[in-house]
């Protein structure tokens, strides 16, 4: 078994080295440096994220199913760009079904893939929700699709998340889940700048 693992690791190393060498042959050192500089430099999408920096009051609404009335609670959110303006970290507090809630979201934009990635964790569970998506110019929203574990079935559960900046002092996050094969809005967080 150990020999098989070593052969596998050697094969991966060979593939990586060969593809890196081919990439070097196709690109001059200047082109390689420019590609890395473009990849690592915050751009327009990062500037858009930075507009949310600061403290916000929140109103959260949750629906257990499409026919139910929403549960509602108030909370706070603090947004800040980190790592030289490359990623946005937000810290959220509130209440869910009478229990205190804390959550952290990390949102980044990858210049190479032209795609956003969102990572969410909170004290209401031990899982991680990860979603990827693009900026939609028509709706001026970041639309992400992702998955997380359903603790009841222990299986992946898909979701859609929409981040929309209304103006400098208002933004909204919506989350959509599957209910009997149909998408429904399960959560909405309205944010007002303090």
- pLDDT, one tens digit per residue, over 129-160 is 999 999 999 999 999 999 998 888 888 889 99
Mean pLDDT of 50-58: 97
Range of the domain at 25: 2-40
Mean pLDDT of 90-112: 95
Q: Strand 54-62 and strand 155-167: pairing?
A: unpaired
Pair 18, 93 in one domain: no
> Averaging pLDDT over each range in 18-22, 26-30, 165-169, which range is the top one?
165-169
Number of folded domains that form the chain = 2
d(CA 120, CA 111): 21
Pair 17, 85 in one domain: no
Q: Which pLDDT score, from 0 to 100, does residue 19 have? A: 55
């Amino acid at each position: 078994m150990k020999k098989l693992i070593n052969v596998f690791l050697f094969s991966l190393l060979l593939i990586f080295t060969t593809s890196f060498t081919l990439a070097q042959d196709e690109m001059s050192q200047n082109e390689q440096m420019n590609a890395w500089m473009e990849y690592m430099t915050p751009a327009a999408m990062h500037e858009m994220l930075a507009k949310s920096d600061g403290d916000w009051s929140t109103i959260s609404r949750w629906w257990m199913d499409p026919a139910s009335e929403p549960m509602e609670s108030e909370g706070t959110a603090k947004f800040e760009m980190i790592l030289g303006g490359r990623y946005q970290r937000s810290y959220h507090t509130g209440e869910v079904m009478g229990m205190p809630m804390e959550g952290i979201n990390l949102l980044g934009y990858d210049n190479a893939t032209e795609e956003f990635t969102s990572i969410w964790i909170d004290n209401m569970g031990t899982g991680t929700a990860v979603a990827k998506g693009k900026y939609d110019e028509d709706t001026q929203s970041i639309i992400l699709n992702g998955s997380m574990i359903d603790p009841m079935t222990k299986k992946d559960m898909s979701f859609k998340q929409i981040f929309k900046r209304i103006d400098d002092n208002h933004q909204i996050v919506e989350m959509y889940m599957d209910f009997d094969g149909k998408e429904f809005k399960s959560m909405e967080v309205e944010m007002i700048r303090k």
